[in-house]
Structures are given as C-alpha cells and as structure tokens.
Amino acid sequence: MLCALLVPLLVPHLSVAAERFELAAVPPPTAWLLQLPSTTLVSCATRCLQLADCGLLHWTDLCRLAAAGGGDGSSATLRVYRRVTGSAGQAAAQTAAATTQTTAATETTAATETTAATETAAATTQTTAATTQTAAATTQTTAATTQTTAATETTPSVAPGATTTPGATTTPGATTTSGAASPAGFVYDGRFFWHVTVAKGLSYEQAQSHCLGLASQASLAGVYSDAQLNALWEHPSRPAVQQWIGVYLDSRGWAFNPDGAEPPVNVTPYEEMSGDAFTLPPDNAGGALWLADKLTTMAGMVCEAPDPPQFL
C-alpha cells in the first residue's frame, strides 16, 4: 500500500513489492476512477471488475491507481501509474525510485547494469527462438501437406471436432467414417492452431484437457499478438459458436496465457461482464473478447500445439 505522504507528490516512479510503475497521463475522469478511498494504490483491473460502469477494461494488469484527498474520492487528485514492462520500461527501470519527504530509495548503478544485461541476453534468446520457430513453421506446413494427402487415401480415427471450411493457408481436415469433418487448422509464428467443436459442452478446465488429448503439448490457445488474435477471429475455418481460448484472469484480475506468460499490452480488450476466463464471441468480425466463468460449459474451443495433430 502506498504511504500517505507519497501519494500527493508527482512522483515519476514508484515500486510495489517487486513491481515498478511509472506516472502516466491522467485519462478523462470517469466514475470508476474517482470512486477510490483517499491515499490508496489499487490495481486498475481489480477496480474495473468491481464496478459495472468501468469502460477501460483493456487496462487489465497494466497499471495502478493512486488517489489523494477528497475523502470518498469524489474530489481526489488522481495519479495513474502504468507498470513498466519489456524494452519500453528499461529507461524507467534505470531511473532513481520515488522520493518521499522522510525517506529516499535508490538503486545502485551495478544493479541497473545487471538488469540491462539480463534483458539484452533475453532479447537475443527471443530472436534466436523466433528464427527457430520460423524454420519449424516451414517444417510443420510440409508435414501437414503430407498428412492431408494421406488422409484422402485412408480414413483415420478422428477426435470430435467441428466441420470447417479450409482457407488459403489452412490444412483441411480428413473426412471421418461418420461423415463429419475434423477441425481445420493453420500455422502462425511456429505454432499450430485449430478450431474444435464437441457435441457436449465443456468447462474451461475440461476444454484444456480435451485439447491436450488431441495433440502432444497442446492447450487452449493463448494470445501473443494482435495479428495472431485476428487470425483466430477471422480464419475461415472458425465455426459460428462461442469458443474457449486459454487466456484467464487470476485472483488479482491480471490476465495470463495457459503457459503463465502475460498477453501483450492492449491485445485482450473484453466486454463488461463477470467471469475469469476469455472466450471468442460467436462471430468472425473481431473486436472485444467475452468473459465467462470457468465452470460455464460450451461446445467450442480453439486449441494450439507445437505440431499439427495426427488426424489433420
């Protein structure tokens, strides 16, 4: 919790536990921002989830709010601090921490240089990984083409799935003995994604297990970029049903992918509704995601895996 002396100051940076925040421009006043107790520091996402009229839900896990004065917050002086992430936060991470009237917290030059060196090494590793993923995507596309050719000659055993229309970059599913088609999929940034529809609705955890049962190391689909999310929205293989994806909210209201990584900034806007897991609405137009309780059951889901399932 931010100390009462610190809040009224225009402090450019502040720290909460292991997190660092930097002062951001104050947005137009809205009811949910101003309804804060005085001298508090709260998560924007948590505050949003508590109020029905919150209109800035794309701030999930990205910022903290500090308010000073005004009693119930109606006349509070509002400060908005965005959490420093990735390369955009390196300069802020190298600056001295917030100073109060009675104490000052500083970081040593050695610690800053160590952090910068670690981030540089991580960036190099990510670049190498991206190159590897590109090569893997080429290999997966070749393998998928071979599997499709084999599927036209034999009738493989297929897990339950949706009838879909393959697009230009989609590997079509094989026809099963029951006459239904297996779900079509596509490769994006070295990962294979495919749409699945089952006869009986599944909860979030059941859908996660279902994806894992269809392919090695599979899971519900995470969100990694705007372009990748748009591909999930708009791919012609997508059925017109509400679908589970893998992004969920933890107890603090912060969003995470199934592997525990955070989705990129502003990639997961969602509608004002209660729930703790994300879904794609039943249309192909793109836009805001829907929230649903994890215990809700639905027949649609989007799965991802390093390699295409054998039945595709």
Confidence of residue 208 (pLDDT cuts 50, 70, 90): very high
The 10s digit of each residue's pLDDT in 149-174 is 443 443 333 334 333 333 333 333 33
Q: How far apart are CA 222 and CA 266, in angstroms?
A: 14
- Mode of pairing for the β-strands spanning 243-249 and 298-305: parallel
pLDDT higher at 42 or 54: 42
- CA 21 distance to own-chain centroid: 20
Confidence of residue 288 (pLDDT cuts 50, 70, 90): confident
The 10s digit of each residue's pLDDT in 258-277 is 989 888 867 766 766 789 99
Q: How far apart are CA 59 and CA 80, in angstroms?
A: 11
- What is the average pLDDT across 266-292? 80
DSSP of 216-278, one letter per residue? TT-EE-----HHHHHHHHH-TT--SS-EEEEEEE-TTS-EE-TTSPPPPTT---B-S---SEE
* Weakest-pLDDT range from 68-77, 184-193, 200-209: 68-77
Among 138, 286, 299, 144, CA closest to 223: 286
State the residue for tokens 């070295």: 190
**pLDDT (0 to 100) of residue 64:** 52
Count CB atoms within 10 A of the CB of residue 21. 26
**CA 304-305-310 angle, 5° bins:** 110
- What is the average pLDDT across 16-37? 52
- What is the average pLDDT across 286-298? 88
pLDDT higher at 293 or 41: 293
Are 219 and 304 in contact, with CB atoms under 8 Å apart? yes
* 84, two tokens: 């420093």
Q: Where are the domains of the chain?
A: 13-100, 130-305
Q: Identify any residues that bridge with 280 across adjacent strands, giving them in sequence order.
A: 243
Are 87 and 95 in contact, with CB atoms under 8 Å apart? no
Q: Which residues touch 128 (CB under 8 Å, ≥6 apart)?
A: none
Among 267, 232, 233, 263, CA closest to 250: 263
Torsions phi, psi for 126 (to 5 deg) = -65, -40
Strand order, beta sheet including 19-24: 13-16, 19-24, 77-83, 63-68, 40-43
* 281, two tokens: 């609405």
* Weakest-pLDDT range from 183-192, 219-228, 253-262: 183-192
Round the average pLDDT of the chain to a whole number and report it.
62
pLDDT higher at 116 or 133: 133
- What is the average pLDDT across 83-105? 37
For domain 130-305, the question of CATH label 3.30.420.40 is answered with no
**CB under 8 A, 24+ apart: contacts of 112-119:** 115/90, 116/90, 119/87, 119/90
Confidence of residue 310 (pLDDT cuts 50, 70, 90): confident
Burial (CB count within 10 angstroms: exposed 0-12, middle 13-18, buried 19+), residue 294: middle
Q: Identify any residues that bridge with 194 across adjacent strands, giving them in sequence order.
A: 185, 303
**pLDDT (0 to 100) of residue 65:** 53
Q: Identify any residues that bridge with 181 across adjacent strands, giving them in sequence order.
A: 175
**pLDDT (0 to 100) of residue 244:** 97
* 305, two tokens: 């895996």
